[in-house]
Amino acid sequence: MTDPSATSPQHSADDGSPRSIIRADGWALVIGAAATVAVELGAFFLARAGGAGLTASMLVSLAVSAVWVALASPAFGAGGQGIMSCWLRGGAVADASAIALFVLWLVVPAMTFVSAVKIYCIYAAVALAAAAVVGVGKSSAGRAGLAVAVAVALMIALASPVWLGGPVSYLEGEAAQALTSAAVKANPFFAVMAAVSENVRQPWTEMTLMYELTALGDTVPLPPVRWHAPVPIYLAVVAAGLGASLVRRRRLR
């Protein structure tokens, strides 16, 4: 008799052969990549059509890209049928962002090649972290639930300038500064802005009052922002997710 598990979607997605990857994830990867490029470059060209300059349009595109990676990588990853499938689908969002970054490098003087590479590293760390967490799910429903939780957590990290003022107002001295530093380091958008700060006169994250919604730079000093600050944080999540997935796999054998 034929072993049912040998032809199950889970097995097909995890056997690692190129044919099984293309069969299980090919269209999903194409759709995810196309949607990513359309959203990220669409934001740039819409800003240009609205009269914004090249640099301002680039910043709009980068802001939209950060949000898109935070939402799309766990969402696309949740559609995978196995650990490798989840990683491929989630990571494809960051890889497709490289295409948009390449176009920005060609069009916008403020976007250098080095800056584009740095931003890709940030997106890749975030996308892989999201996919690693989602891949821990044992079922489609479990992966979907984890995808929602990851997306919410990443949006909270991105929105730290908005909510940070409240908690910091109840803290003093080193505790307030520690919370601010942690929130800034975990925010991918701060790192993205740091990657282009050398060629942008006034990055959004360094404005005295960012849209008048944050205390950062006003009542709360803005800590030093480095482009690589969130990378080890999210890579640690990748390692934890990979470890949990490997442990689950070993138990199933």
**pLDDT number for residue 223:** 77
247 burial type by CB count under 10 A (0-12 exposed, 13-18 middle, 19+ buried)? exposed
Q: What is the token pair recorded at 14?
A: 């995890």
Helix axes of 113-134 and 140-158: crossing angle, nearest 10 degrees: 140
Predicted structure pTM score: 0.84
Q: Which amino acid is at 208?
A: T
**pLDDT number for residue 105:** 96
**pLDDT number for residue 49:** 95
8 A C-beta contact, residue 88 and residue 51: no
Q: What is the token pair recorded at 151?
A: 């997306």
Show Cβ contacts of residue 168 under 8 Å, excluding neighbours closer than 6 positions. Answer: 176, 179, 180, 215, 220
Half-sphere exposure of 113 (CA within 13 A, CB side): 0
Q: Is 175 helix (H, G, I), strand (E, B) or coil?
A: helix
Show Cβ contacts of residue 226 under 8 Å, excluding neighbours closer than 6 positions. Answer: 191, 194
Q: Is 217 left (phi over 0), alpha (psi -120 to 50) or beta?
A: left
Q: Is 173 left (phi over 0), alpha (psi -120 to 50) or beta?
A: left
Helix axes of 113-134 and 54-77: crossing angle, nearest 10 degrees: 20
In degrees, to the nearest 5, what angle opens at C-alpha 93 toward C-alphas 9 and 235?
90
Q: Is 216 helix (H, G, I), strand (E, B) or coil?
A: strand
8 A C-beta contact, residue 94 and residue 124: yes
**DSSP classification of residue 159:** T
**pLDDT number for residue 21:** 65
Measured distance CA(125)–CA(234) in Å, rounded: 6
Spell out, as residue ranges, where the chain has pLDDT lower than 70: 1-22, 202-220, 249-253
Q: What is the token pair recorded at 191?
A: 């790192």
8 A C-beta contact, residue 116 and residue 101: yes
Q: How far is CA 28 from CA 128, 145, 180, 240, 244, in A?
A: 16, 19, 38, 25, 25
